[in-house]
Structure 1
Amino acid sequence: MAFEVSYNLENEQQFWDELDDIVSTRCHEHEIIDNSLRSYLNVTTSYRSEYLQTDYSIAKCVYRLIEGALFTAHREYVRRQIIYCLLQEDDNPTLHMVAAFLLYDGRNSGNDVTFEMMQAEGVFMRLVELIQLSSVQEDTRLHQMLLELMYESSRIQRLSWDDLNAVDDAFILYLLEIIEGASDDAEDPYHYPVIRVLLVLNEQYLVVSTTQHANGRAGVTNRVIKALSTHGMTYKTFGCNLILLLNRESETSLQLLILKVLYLVFGNSTTAEYFYTNDLHVLVDVILRNLIDLPSDSPAANALRHTYLRVLYPILSNSQISKPPHYKREEILRLLHLLVTSGNHFAPVDETTRRLVNRCTDVQWLQPPATDPGGLPETNGGTSATQSPITDDHVIGNGQKELARRTLGMSVRGDSATSVLEVAAHTEKPGVQTPSRGKEMVQ
């Protein structure tokens, strides 16, 4: 972008004073607005290395524009011009400022108008392109900003068919490689943004896969699960971080994103044993603890509880925990029993919880040892009629099972189309905190 004004500011106070003058411009002509935006980008990029070295200073700079008269009087026009700049610009400092503006304005607008405008202009495909550029990768702060923008703009609306087609196997493997190559510290600047992008992409694949059969489109491949199917042994750090995040995450929407990945991982025959056994044990502990912590009289907690139980079932059925020595068998049975007996007078246990708990307790290795007429335990893994796992719908025909496999683009073991749809449909607005028995006791 060509700039018409050059600056020679002697100190930081002059920088902020100049910025305030620019964002306070009052005008109606598009040409003057464009010139003011050029001046804003010129002064911020020229002094980025001197006065905008932290995320806080970048955010402070962006909010000067958001709160200034130039933007408040011409919101739609300024947003569109900034989006066009992101689509066309190749200069890293400029990309950093426009990406920061779109990210903070999108979070601040409250009605998703910024992210919707980005979607309409095809910004997602541009982000996929930019994130993979070597020149962008060398600028860590810019790269992280673009990842955060991709996540935030994708979590609140459905991506288009063209958007999903812009994501190829190489892009997913590149993101997994970043996680694998970063430090073991989950607070590493790259860990969280990259993981969240993978989570939201999986969500997009899951949603589109459950609806695409209605319009006759060919199945879309979930490239996140595909990458774990073909390269899971190489990219174990992603799974470790999923457990860490689920253990500490208090935002319901993010818990759901993590659970949806786990649901597909353990439901798919090629990824059911993706996790190391020790990590799997930690994951089971986290799920049991979170199930205990959810209050029994909250609709939001009930919906989240159902998702945890839907994830627990394929873990019990398909992962290595289903093989001896069985991990915490008695503790799992005790918790499942508690979930269907802990209702109170005002909020009895709902039928969906009962059904999902029964489904888990019917897993073969959780059954008490069967005895033959002579009183001896059955051998060779014999089962009774009560030991076969039931599905969400109790009786699922072959047609529905095939629908689940086809819509997911993979082989899902022991599940139903209804369960897949319910997991895909369960969402929560960003920022909503997960209900907790502990928090209620403190209050």
Structure 2
Amino acid sequence: MAFEVSYNLENEQQFWDELDDIVSTRCQEHEIIDNSLRSFLNVTTSYKSEYLQTDYSVAKCVFRLLEGELFAAHKEYVRRQIIYCLLQEDDNPTLHVVAAVLLYDGRNSNDDVIFEMMHSEGTFPRLVELVQLQAVQEDTRLHQLLLELLYESSRIQRLTWEDFLAVNDQFIIYLLGIIEGVSDDAEDPYHYPVIRVLLVLNEQYLVASTNQQNNGRSGVTNRVIKAISTHGMTYKTFGCNLILLLNRESETSLQLLILKVLYLIFGNPSTAEYFYTNDLHVLVDVILRNLIDLPHESPAASALRHTYLRVLNPILTNSQISRPPYYKREELLRLFHLLVTSGNHFAPVDETTVRLVQRCTSVPWLQPAATVADDDSPTNGHNTTHSPVEHMANGQKELARRALGMSVQGGGESSTSVLEIATHTEKPGVQTPSLGRVVH
């Protein structure tokens, strides 16, 4: 740096006082702003090992800047200079502070300006590069912070063709390997950021696949699904954690991200049996419980309900659940009946729900004849002329809950369904109420 200041701070209070002086700088000239930012980075990186040893202290430091006069008066300029630091710096302490500023600024803002600026400056390939650097991997806190920044910035803007080129098969395998190698605990601090990066990449591929124009270029390969297709037996922990997170997650946008990857996994013949059968049963339990508990008043719940049903169809059609002994057949039929029947719990049923339920109930093994054939009894031609939903007795929510007994193609899917599931989104932070949780 052209401008350096040597600091000799004797205690933590002097450190925070010095930061307050820097971020309170009042100026108009870019040169003075630059000098203040250099001073901020200099003092924070010089004393990082002493006074910024925790995530809380780093956040406290960053918010000193974000709430200071320097940032308030020159937001656009300061943000762009911090982005340039991310693009150019290789020093771990500096990267840590810079990434924290960008992440907390993005999360703290009511708009997406900082992530839009990052996108326009091409930070995605840089972040992909950084998280794979050996020096960064050895700094666990920095590595996790960069993964979180990669996720947050990538779910706001569509990736460009150049962005997609930065992701190769080795990068996806690397991420799956982190999940597989650290532990089998979904609460592991590494798992959540890594899984969310894979989820948002899958969504980006899904959205890109619905827009094949892409400036005349051919569609991009979904490297997440490709990796599961070719290496799924090696990386099973990712699938297990998807089920755990779907059962626990209350943020609508994240549930949608999980459902989108499940939709593609079960819609692809090479990945439709990726999950162990026992895990598949748990997944069906989670979907049944969440569908029965979703409220009708919420627009977010409506989008979730439709997405759950779209995911359930390829599960029923393509996975091993489509073979005897037909797991939760009666419970599924009872739920489908409730979803299309107006009553004192359900509001008037929307046409999309009816259509999606009809699609699910058209699965061969849910037909009345399937059970009759399994019993080696003569089929009843009269029964086979009706949808299984029409044969279910009226029931209320609690009856259905007790009966549940909790212990991309294909399956009639169309290009319209792919487009609908790809475009279902929700703002980060929106919670969907009344979701039950399956406990095994």
Scaled by the length of structure 2, the TM-score of the pair is 0.90
Any idea what the Cα deviations from partners look like across 1:117-155, whole Å, max 9, x if unmatched?
Answer: 000000001001101100110001110010000100111
Letter in 1 for 2:285: D
Is the CA contact 1:125–1:163 (under 8 Å) kept in the aligned structure 2? yes
SS of 1:369's partner is helix
Shift of 1:184: 1.8
Shift of 1:163: 0.5
Task: Please show how residues 127-142 of structure 1 align to structure 2 within 5 Å.
Answer: 127-142=127-142
Residue aligning to 1:377: 378
Task: Please show how residues 293-304 of structure 1 align to structure 2 within 5 Å.
Answer: 293-304=293-304
Is the CA contact 1:296–1:342 (under 8 Å) kept in the aligned structure 2? no
Distance 1:345 1:281, change over 3 A: closer
d(CA) in 2 for partners of 1:97, 1:247: 34
Residue aligning to 2:99: 99
Letter in 2 for 1:49: S
Shift of 1:378: 5.5
Is the CA contact 1:203–1:424 (under 8 Å) kept in the aligned structure 2? yes
d(CA) in 1 for partners of 2:275, 2:192: 19
- Is 1:433 the counterpart of 2:431? The answer is yes
Residue aligning to 1:181: 181
Residue aligning to 2:38: 38
Letter in 2 for 1:377: P
Letter in 2 for 1:250: S
Shift of 1:300: 2.5
d(CA) in 2 for partners of 1:417, 1:115: 31
d(CA) in 1 for partners of 2:194, 2:97: 20
Distance 1:199 1:437, change over 3 A: closer
Shift of 1:87: 0.4
* Corresponding pairs, count: 413
- Is 1:416 the counterpart of 2:403? The answer is no
Shift of 1:358: 1.1
Task: Please show how residues 346-361 of structure 1 align to structure 2 within 5 Å.
Answer: 347-361=347-361
Shift of 1:435: 3.1
Letter in 1 for 2:143: H
Distance 1:346 1:144, change over 3 A: closer
Residue aligning to 1:328: 328
Gap runs ≥5 in structure 1: 389-409
Task: Please show how residues 186-201 of structure 1 align to structure 2 within 5 Å.
Answer: 186-201=186-201
Shift of 1:345: 9.8
Residue aligning to 2:394: none
Shift of 1:299: 2.9
Distance 1:437 1:47, change over 3 A: closer
Note the aligned Cα RMSD (angstroms): 2.3
- Is 1:22 the counterpart of 2:52? The answer is no
Residue aligning to 1:289: 289
Distance 1:313 1:35, change over 3 A: same
Q: Percent identity?
A: 81
Scaled by the length of structure 1, the TM-score of the pair is 0.89
Any idea what the Cα deviations from partners look like across 1:299-347, whole Å, max 9, x if unmatched?
Answer: 3322210100000000000000001111111111111111111455993
Is the CA contact 1:179–1:238 (under 8 Å) kept in the aligned structure 2? yes
Shift of 1:351: 1.2
d(CA) in 2 for partners of 1:433, 1:281: 26
Shift of 1:189: 1.1
Gap runs ≥5 in structure 2: 389-407
d(CA) in 2 for partners of 1:305, 1:215: 34
Distance 1:423 1:86, change over 3 A: same
Shift of 1:183: 1.4
Is the CA contact 2:290–2:435 (under 8 Å) kept in the aligned structure 1? no
Distance 1:412 1:139, change over 3 A: farther
- Is 1:109 the counterpart of 2:112? The answer is no
Choose 294-303 or 251-260, whichever is displaced more.
294-303
